[in-house]
Amino acid sequence: MQTEVGDNMSLYFRAANLSVLHDALSHQWQNESLENSTRELTSNHLAFAYLHQRRSRLEIAWTSVLLLIVILVTVGGNLAVVFAVYNSVRLREQVSNLFIVNLSVTDLSSGGLVMFSAFFPLVFDLRYVNSVWCNIVCAANYIFIIVSMLTLAAISVERYIAIVHTFKHNILITRGRILIVIGYSWIQGLAFALPPVALHWVHYDYWEVICAIDWQYQKQQAVYYVITACVVCFLIPGLVMCFCYLNIIRHARKVDSGVPTLGHTTSNPEDVNNPSNLQIRKASKSASKTIRSLLVVVALFFLCLTPFCVTKFIKVVFPDAKIVPGYANLTASYFQYLSSMVNPFIYAIFRQDFRNAYRLVWWRLASKFCVVERPNLDSTTQAAALPLRLNNGR
């Protein structure tokens, strides 16, 4: 009997302990569930607040004025480049300037279409833009970026041939081949700009002030697209530019030091100082100014696009909409716009032939409204590209 009582008591206490343990676990689970629910609600609240946050009137005013300035300078500056090449016989003689014209046309189109399309939603603080127009603007934006990248790569190849393989330049670089390369750059830009539109990835991003791609929609396909586009449209052209400009710099140092190079071999060391080789060295030094201007163009292009690319990469990797602050998105967009604005200034700073052409353009424009003395241009100024007289318009 005592044994039965003891067993019953043992079972009672064991049941009581299990009940206490169950209550404790249940209480802990409820706390964890409440904590998770609170965290989820907080996250959703923050996401909702981020998505519905708006700019103040002061912020709209100064960002709109800044964007308007960028648009006007971009359109005016790149129009000046196009007219400078068109009006200057010396610049037209250099068929390689077709690449610069193509680069200016893409920048001009970006200012007139992409930036101008961002201006009105920014001024009126719109959150939504017509989907058809948004698709057009987004596709155009990516076309212009890709065409600019491929054009810069093509310029580097042309300069590499002109500097390192001077005597082959007029054979390899012809007007027809340049036009084919330019046409291909637009076809590739179109090929990579259309898939996001066809797959309905495009939406208007309030903080970027641009019609952009929603990288979280069909994320797996988006990741494949990003990898392919980065490799084909950015990595390969970037490696081509690095190869070309590094070899150009190495070759220029050899020319400056008087060391005979593959393109400029001499029969004996004394020939280094003969008139023909001195003319080659003089032309090479003249071309170095063009190389410096192009290097600055490339460097600023990558500098301006880096914030844009970094924010896009973060959005692909992380699904959280608010991980990139709103004004980081806006800053990235403005840096991208600046890449279309700076090139005309670089040409003016580094190249005398473009400075002369700019002055002639402004004189012709001003003479339509008032009497202005024709600018006294330096007639001895040589075009800063190699070869100087071999590209006779072909």
Residue 103 has pLDDT above 90, yes or no: yes
| pLDDT at 147 (0 to 100) | 97
The enclosing H or E element of 205 equals strand 202-205
Residue type, 318: F
Residue 218 has pLDDT above 60, yes or no: yes
Give 183's DSSP letter. H
| pLDDT at 34 (0 to 100) | 47
Within 8 A by CB and 6+ apart from 275, the residues are: none
Residue 387 has pLDDT above 50, yes or no: no
Q: Which residues of 326-342 are buried (b: 16+ CB within 10 A; e: fewer)?
A: bebbbbbbbbbbbbbbb
The structure tokens listed for 213 are 């791609």
Give the angle subtended at the CA of 179 by the CAs of 175 and 180, to the nearest 5°. 120
| pLDDT at 287 (0 to 100) | 62
Rounded Cα–Cα distance for residues 3 and 19 (Å): 24
How many Cβ atoms from other residues are within 10 Å of residue 164's Cβ? 21
Q: Where are the alpha helices (DSSP H) in the chain?
A: 2-52, 57-87, 89-93, 97-109, 116-123, 131-164, 169-172, 175-198, 219-229, 236-256, 275-317, 326-338, 343-350, 352-367
With 0-12 / 13-18 / 19 or more C-beta atoms within 10 angstroms meaning exposed / middle / buried, residue 359 is middle
| pLDDT at 392 (0 to 100) | 37
Q: Where are the alpha helices (DSSP H) in 53-123?
A: 57-87, 89-93, 97-109, 116-123
Residue type, 389: R
Task: Find the mean pLDDT for residues 164-180.
Answer: 92
| pLDDT at 272 (0 to 100) | 47
Strand partners, 202: 213
Closest CA to 246 of 343, 339, 149, 163: 163
Rounded Cα–Cα distance for residues 134 and 208 (Å): 13
Output 316 or 172, whichever has higher pLDDT: 172
Confidence band, pLDDT 50/70/90 cuts, at residue 373: confident
Residue 150 has pLDDT above 90, yes or no: yes
With 0-12 / 13-18 / 19 or more C-beta atoms within 10 angstroms meaning exposed / middle / buried, residue 277 is middle
Confidence band, pLDDT 50/70/90 cuts, at residue 7: low
Q: What is the pLDDT of residues 287-300, one digit of tens each?
A: 666 677 778 888 88
Residue 269 has pLDDT above 90, yes or no: no
Closest CA to 111 of 302, 344, 380: 344
Q: Looking at the structure, give the CATH architecture of the domain made up of residues 58-367.
A: Up-down Bundle (1.20)
| pLDDT at 243 (0 to 100) | 94
Mean pLDDT of the chain: 78
The structure tokens listed for 101 are 């014209």
Task: Find the mean pLDDT for residues 210-232.
Answer: 85
First to last CA, the chain: 118
Q: What is the pLDDT of residues 329-346, one digit of tens each?
A: 889 999 999 999 998 988
Q: What is the pLDDT of residues 19-62, one digit of tens each?
A: 544 555 455 555 545 444 444 433 344 344 445 578 888 999 99
